[in-house]
Amino acid sequence: MRVHDAVRGAPVVAAPATTVAAVAALMNSEGVGAVVVVEHGAPIGIATDRDLVVRVLARRLDPGIPIIDVMSINLVTVDAQADLREATRLFANNRIRRLPVVKDGRVVGVLSVDDLVIDAVGDLATLVRPVVDGVVFGRRDRM
């Protein structure tokens, strides 16, 4: 399976000059925990809900400051055509929960650890359903 197959939607992005308050409002309205900061379509950083709490709220900074001042800059990305196992390695090796997905240098999505867990649980349910039907319910017609 390729990374692009596991991405669940368009990325939520912001420009470097976007205020922290605007990024927080964007996270809220889009229901996401991270916004990729892009310049000319290319990802240059990521701002997570944790970044906002630890780097802004805890320090009592003005939420009117630009997101570029508090975003995470050691950005790890994955190519959209990469095998999903590569994304898994990047998550584990870099101890991150969100991974911007790029194609031709532009951000096209964000893959999260949560996305992989949801897919894995769905795959396991599909795998064990015939076993449960046969063992628990005595049905053999699905096997």
Question: Which domains can be identified in the chain, with CATH numbers?
Answer: 3-112 (3.10.580.10)
What's the predicted TM-score (pTM) here? 0.82
Per-residue pLDDT band at 1 (split at 50, 70, 90): confident
| Beta strand spans in 32-103 (E) | 34-39, 42-48, 78-79, 98-103
- Percent of the chain scored above 90 by pLDDT? 72
User: Over the stretch 76-102, which tens digit does the pLDDT of each residue have?
Assistant: 999 999 999 999 999 999 999 999 999
Provide the angle, in degrees to the nearest 10, between the axes of the packed helices 113-135 and 84-94: 120
Please compute the mean of the pLDDT values over residues 44-60 and round it to a whole number: 97
User: Over the stretch 3-27, which tens digit does the pLDDT of each residue have?
Assistant: 998 998 899 999 999 999 999 999 9
